[in-house]
């Protein structure tokens, strides 16, 4: 029986976060090669990618994560509705780069943009995952962080790739692992990275270390990586392995997907 892996390519990994709408093509090409190694080893892949400099800057400027806000609270020449459309288009553009990297390697992949099938935000978002389930073996299904419609007054919001992976990893059958491929770090660090100092990597991480006890405050899990760790533990609770690795080396993402020991952080119960 073929197993599945859910992979998240972080937006900070596949784009240059400091430069608006700039793709790291060499990184994408390398990640595609590593994804191919999974398929070659009979492992089916669900790929989720982030936004990086294709989504976050405009989403932040127009406060899209907050949903509908008073027009006076917005600084910029677009309305929020126009910004929603532009961010969705920017994400389609980024997705096209991702798909190009996959097709260059003859990988068959299909994208399901969340604004077409998902509603509401957070790890309990609404949306039918059966389209992901029905894919023939070897076909990669791709989705990504996006602006989606929301119930109630908020009208819209940002559904993060870190939330998409939770439901995909828990609800799809045969998922063996969830792998977060990140930029700039080797995994979860015991302290923030410092120049000229080797990263103090936590090879394993349990809930206690993060959420309680003496060490909790020492571990830097704020912001992006904190969300991944919190979402990761939800997935681990359902018996799916969770590994966080650097996506900037030649083999760690593929190794983590295939269950090989690689430098990175493995969540443990």
Contacts with ligand IPE, residue ranges (CB under 6 A): 10-12, 50-52, 55-56, 59, 87, 91, 145-147, 158, 160-162, 224
Give the nearest distance from C-beta 222 to ligand IPE in angstroms.
Answer: 14
Decide: helix, strand or coil at residue 204: strand
CB closer to ligand IPE out of 58 and 252: 58
Tokens of 119: 């509603």
What are the helix and strand counts (H, E) for the chain? 10, 12
Give the nearest distance from C-beta 165 to ligand IPE in angstroms.
Answer: 9
The DSSP bridge partners found for residue 206 are 268
Q: Rounded to 10 degrees, what is the CA torsion of 131, 136, 140, 141?
A: 0
Give the nearest distance from C-beta 91 to ligand IPE in angstroms.
Answer: 6
Give the nearest distance from C-beta 144 to ligand IPE in angstroms.
Answer: 7
Show the beta-strand stretches assigned E in 50-117.
109-111
> For the chain, what is the largest distance between any 2 Cα atoms, rounded to a whole number of angstroms?
56
CB closer to ligand IPE out of 111 and 160: 160
CA 256/CA 262 separation, integer angstroms: 6
CA 254/CA 31 separation, integer angstroms: 8
124 C-beta neighbours (distance < 10 Å), count: 9
Task: Transcribe 55-114 into DSSP letters.
Answer: THHHHHHTTGGG-S--GGG--SSS-HHHHHHHHHHHHHHHHHHHHHHHHHTT--EEE--H
CB closer to ligand IPE out of 209 and 221: 221
CB closer to ligand IPE out of 92 and 201: 92
Q: How many residues does the chain have?
A: 269
Tokens of 148: 């989606």
Give the nearest distance from C-beta 164 to ligand IPE in angstroms.
Answer: 7
Decide: helix, strand or coil at residue 205: strand
Give the nearest distance from C-beta 160 to ligand IPE in angstroms.
Answer: 3
CB closer to ligand IPE out of 67 and 224: 224
Give the nearest distance from C-beta 122 to ligand IPE in angstroms.
Answer: 12
Tokens of 203: 């090879």
CB closer to ligand IPE out of 59 and 258: 59
């Amino acid at each position: 029986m073929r197993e599945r892996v859910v992979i998240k390519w972080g937006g900070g990994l596949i784009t240059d976060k400091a430069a608006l709408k700039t793709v790291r093509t060499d990184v994408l090409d390398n990640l595609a090669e590593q994804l191919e190694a999974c398929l070659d080893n009979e492992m089916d892949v669900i790929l989720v990618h982030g936004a990086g400099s294709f989504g976050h800057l405009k989403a932040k400027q127009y406060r899209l994560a907050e949903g509908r806000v008073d027009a006076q609270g917005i600084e910029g020449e677009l309305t929020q509705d126009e910004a929603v459309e532009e961010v969705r288009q920017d994400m389609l553009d980024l997705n096209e780069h991702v798909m190009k990297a996959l097709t260059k390697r003859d990988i068959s992949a299909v994208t399901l943009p969340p604004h077409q099938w998902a509603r509401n935000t957070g790890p309990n978002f609404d949306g039918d995952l059966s389209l992901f389930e029905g894919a023939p073996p070897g076909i990669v299904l791709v989705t990504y962080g996006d602006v989606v419609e929301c119930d109630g007054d908020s009208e819209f919001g940002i559904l993060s790739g870190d939330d998409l992976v939770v439901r995909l990893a828990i609800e799809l059958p045969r998922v063996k692992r969830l792998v977060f491929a990140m930029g700039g770090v080797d995994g979860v660090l015991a302290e923030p990275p410092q120049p000229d100092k080797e990263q103090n990597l936590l090879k394993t991480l349990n809930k206690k270390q993060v959420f309680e006890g003496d060490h909790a405050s020492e571990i830097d899990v704020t912001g992006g990586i904190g969300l991944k760790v919190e979402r990761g533990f939800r997935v681990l609770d359902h018996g799916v392995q969770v590994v966080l690795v650097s996506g900037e080396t030649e083999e760690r993402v593929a190794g983590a997907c295939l269950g090989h020991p690689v430098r990175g952080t493995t969540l443990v119960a």
